[in-house]
């Protein structure tokens, strides 16, 4: 890359599209383009929003006076594609087909690669996605659930998890492909995973397993869950919402905001203290469990995501797991930077872009 080259980064969310222009790793302009619910509700599917969002992005580029000839690549957030190894992928025909149908589910992130491709095609430059949630590198033995009808799946906050791992590698003088970490992504959902030599070997599915989180139940006693499911008290949709969306902190304390929980504790609310400490306890247990995957060879435990800003929570976690390895705090998320860094590694020929059709299984 030369000094004047620009990379456009597109990160679609449910009601907004984060967008940024980078010169190498340096953000030139960042913005969050909001879409009203009235506008979103005009469309029957997420894919149908493509034209609307793309039009807004092009208008934004025009308003900011961006010289499109300086763009050398466009990178979009990866969506719910087929299970795939991590890395930076060139957007290709089959990938576009799977993003269009939402192979593993409907989410606004499915539009990232599609919009990136559409704009890049007009400019005759490459488009990429980086480490989508569909990244699946887990061990074969990690896929076994205990019930043949159910296979454990890898759906993980891969983009931020791999980005913070690279960041910590630089700090402690390790290389990404010759290191071992446990990363706990602490957000609305909680993912804890062991990473060895750049690969995520296991992970709790943040929607279904592991610690409870601000709005998800995590793992539950199966027998009691079966009783509730057959009690006729809830519909399928209602029970699923109790597990994903209205579980965890919000079920116990009527809030999914860790800052408000902290305030409750400071005001002497013993229930709030118990529940937050229980969440820290479950996170620590999951970290300890994942240490066995690495046979105890852990260079560092990384705590990241929005909840990693909560000093009370991270202190409780540290007290239980720092005997395993040093703790590194990388609070928040750096998705936009992670996306551009993935593209830069390809443009600088540090890595080769992966091809979706060569990396995934199409036996369906």
Query: What are the pLDDT digits (tens) for 139-159?
Result: 999 999 999 999 998 888 899
pLDDT at 85 over 90: yes
Q: Would you place residue 364 in the very low, low, confident or very high pLDDT band (cuts 50, 70, 90)? A: low
pLDDT of the residue at 37? 79
Over residues 193-214, the mean pLDDT reads: 95
pLDDT at 124 over 70: yes
Q: What is the pTM of this model?
A: 0.88
pLDDT of the residue at 254? 96
pLDDT at 345 over 90: yes
pLDDT at 274 over 70: yes
pLDDT of the residue at 1? 58
For the domain spanning 140-333, the CATH number is: 3.30.420.40
Pairing verdict, β 26-34 and 16-23: antiparallel
pLDDT of the residue at 105? 85
- Measured from the Cβ of residue 214, the count of other Cβ atoms closer than 10 Å reads 22
Which helix or strand (DSSP H or E) is residue 9 part of? Answer: strand 6-12
Packing angle, helices 258-266 and 311-321, rounded to 10: 90
Give the range among 35-49, 103-117, 132-146, 337-351 with minimum mean pLDDT: 35-49
- For residue 59 the two structure tokens come to 């208008």
CA-CA distance, 156 to 203, in Å (whole number)?
7
pLDDT of the residue at 14? 80
- For residue 142 the two structure tokens come to 């990690």
Answer for the pair 213, 220: CB distance below 8 angstroms, yes or no. no
pLDDT of the residue at 207? 86
pLDDT of the residue at 188? 86
- Average pLDDT over the chain reads 94
pLDDT of the residue at 230? 97
> CA nearest 206: which of 220, 192, 219, 191?
191
Residues 289-310: tens digit of each pLDDT: 999 999 999 999 999 999 999 9
CATH 3.30.200.20 at 6-134+336-359, yes or no: no
Q: What are the helix (H) ranges across the chain? A: 37-40, 50-63, 93-101, 110-123, 158-172, 222-229, 236-243, 249-253, 258-266, 270-293, 311-321, 335-347, 356-359
DSSP 8-state secondary structure symbol assigned to residue 295 = T
One-character DSSP codes across 124-187:
T--EEEES-TTB----GGGGB-SSTT-B------HHHHHHHHHHHHHHHT-BTTB-EEEEEEES
Residues 227-253: tens digit of each pLDDT: 999 999 999 999 999 999 899 999 999
> CA nearest 55: which of 33, 87, 36?
33
pLDDT at 363 over 80: no
Query: How many residues in total does the chain contain?
Result: 364
pLDDT of the residue at 145? 96
pLDDT of the residue at 5? 92
> CA nearest 10: which of 132, 123, 111?
111
What are the structural domain ranges in the chain? 6-134+336-359, 140-333
Q: In sequence order, what are the residues at sequence separation of 6 or more whose Cβ sits closer than 8 angstroms to the Cβ of residue 312? A: 262, 265, 276
pLDDT of the residue at 2? 64
CA-CA distance, 191 to 230, in Å (whole number)?
29
CA-CA distance, 69 to 72, in Å (whole number)?
8
Q: Would you place residue 219 in the very low, low, confident or very high pLDDT band (cuts 50, 70, 90)? A: very high
pLDDT at 317 over 70: yes
pLDDT of the residue at 113? 97
């Amino acid at each position: 890359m030369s000094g004047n080259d620009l990379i456009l980064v597109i990160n679609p969310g449910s009601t907004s599209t984060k967008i940024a222009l980078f010169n190498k790793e340096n953000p030139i302009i960042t913005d969050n383009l909001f879409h009203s619910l009235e506008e979103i509700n005009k469309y029957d599917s997420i894919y149908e929003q493509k034209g609307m969002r793309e039009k807004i992005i092009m208008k934004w580029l025009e308003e900011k006076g961006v010289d499109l000839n300086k763009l050398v690549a466009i990178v979009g957030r990866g969506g719910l594609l087929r299970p795939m190894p991590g890395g930076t992928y060139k957007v290709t025909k089959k990938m576009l087909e799977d993003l269009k149908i939402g192979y593993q589910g409907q989410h606004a992130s499915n539009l990232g690669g599609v919009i990136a491709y559409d704009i890049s095609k007009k400019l005759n430059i490459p488009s990429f996605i980086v480490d989508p949630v569909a990244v699946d590198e887990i061990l074969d033995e990690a896929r076994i659930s205990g019930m043949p009808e159910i296979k454990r799946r890898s759906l993980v906050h891969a983009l931020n998890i791999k980005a913070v791992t690279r960041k910590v590698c630089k700090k402690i003088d390790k290389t990404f492909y010759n290191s071992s970490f446990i990363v706990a992504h602490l957000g609305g959902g909680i993912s804890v995973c062991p990473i060895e030599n750049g690969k995520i070997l296991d992970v709790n599915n943040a929607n279904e397993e592991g610690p409870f989180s601000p709005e998800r139940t995590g793992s539950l006693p199966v027998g009691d869950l079966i009783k509730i499911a057959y009690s006729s008290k809830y519909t399928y949709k209602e029970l699923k919402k109790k597990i994903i969306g209205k579980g965890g902190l919000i079920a116990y304390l009527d809030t999914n905001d860790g800052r408000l929980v902290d305030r409750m504790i400071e005001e002497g609310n013993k229930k709030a203290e118990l529940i937050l400490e229980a969440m820290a306890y479950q996170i620590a247990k999951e970290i300890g469990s994942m240490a066995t995957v690495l046979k105890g060879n852990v260079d560092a435990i990384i705590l990241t995501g929005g909840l990693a800003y909560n000093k009370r929570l991270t202190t409780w976690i540290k007290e239980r797991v720092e005997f395993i390895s040093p703790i590194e705090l990388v609070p928040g998320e750096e998705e936009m930077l992670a996306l551009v860094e993935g593209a830069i590694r390809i443009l600088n020929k540090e890595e080769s872009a992966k091809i979706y059709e060569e990396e995934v299984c199409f036996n369906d």
